[in-house]
Chain A
Amino acid sequence: MVVDVEPSQAEIDRIFHALADATRRDILARVIEREQSVSALARSYAMSLPAVQKHVGVLEAAGLVGKRRSGREQRVHAEPERIRIARELLDRFEVLWRARIATMARLLAEDPTARRE
């Protein structure tokens, strides 16, 4: 759970902003499964192609996805390294809580009468 690639404050901002939207999380889930074109993605949502392009742009700015041109298509793929970093940021909270619970268990294991003497 150690974060060995330390993202900058601005990078963290972009990652969380990108993941805060349900459509963008869904796009990310789809491209993690397999690379696909922006137009194929757009067919999955009740929104315009430019709107989907904008969401892809936000994910790209956060480094969570990458784009490449293939003929007349823009194809979108996931960037697993960045997704790993986002996940690790959340894992830090989990580590703190696990430590807190472990400390509570240790306090409960103490003999309260012995402690008061």
Chain B
Amino acid sequence: MPVLDVEKDLDRTTMTVVAEFAAPVERVWALYADPRQLERHWGPPGWPATFLEHDLVPGGASHYVMSGPDGERSHGVWRVLAVDEPRSFVLEDAFADERGVADEQMGWTRMAATFTATADGTRLVFVTTFRSVEQLQQMLDMGMEEGVKLAMAQIDGLLAEDGAAV
């Protein structure tokens, strides 16, 4: 499994994920820069995402829609704050309506990604900072229960594949 470390800091409502991929930095960067690749991993399992708009440049914006297992649709938007291709980006994510207008009441979640070349590939450090514990909790309540179950099944499947490959 490429995940090296996951740290959850309840105090600052921050989650840091450290992962390593056996691919060059530019290739991992493209998973975020190219909307067709991004939408294949951004939505939680069971909630595939489609990016209607995507521009990973400073001041850029994205608008995506995720489709849930019962046909429900959940829109999200990004506002891109900083980009240092292919080393880092900082953006904010929020739930939105179908026109891409952010749900300001729920607020923006900050996401900072750093890509570093290693001997074997690329290390990704992805820091998600929630505005408050209430926001974190609201996001947990956004019908993600099914996604979590599917995620666990998917991880089990991948672990089985890894076992077969090694």
Contact = CB atoms under 8 A, between A and B. Distances in A.
A16 B147 contact: no
B15 A96 contact: no
Interface stretch (A38-46, A71-79, A102-110): A102-110
Interface stretch (A29-37, A47-55, A57-65, A85-93): A85-93
Contacts of B151: 95-96, 98-99
A1 B44 CA distance: 17
By secondary structure, the A interface counts as helix
Interface in B13-42: 15, 17, 19, 21-23, 27-28, 31, 37, 40-42
A48 B2 CA distance: 49
A107 B31 contact: yes
A108 B124 CA distance: 13
Task: Using C-beta atoms within 8 Å of the partner chain, give the interface range for chain B.
Answer: 35 or more
B137 A99 contact: no
A12 B150 CA distance: 23
A16 B13 CA distance: 11
B76 interface: no
25 contacts: A12-B141, A16-B136, A17-B133, A19-B10, A19-B133, A20-B133, A25-B11, A89-B137, A93-B136, A95-B148, A95-B151, A99-B45, A101-B3, A102-B154, A103-B40, A104-B2, A104-B19, A104-B31, A105-B2, A105-B21, A105-B22, A107-B31, A107-B41, A108-B21, A112-B27
Interface of B: 1-3, 6, 8, 10-11, 15, 17, 19, 21-23, 27-28, 31, 37, 40-42, 44-45, 124, 126, 128, 132-134, 136-137, 140-141, 144, 147-152, 154-155, 158
Given A19-B133, A103-B154, 7 more contacts: A16-B137, A93-B15, A97-B6, A98-B3, A101-B2, A108-B21, A108-B27
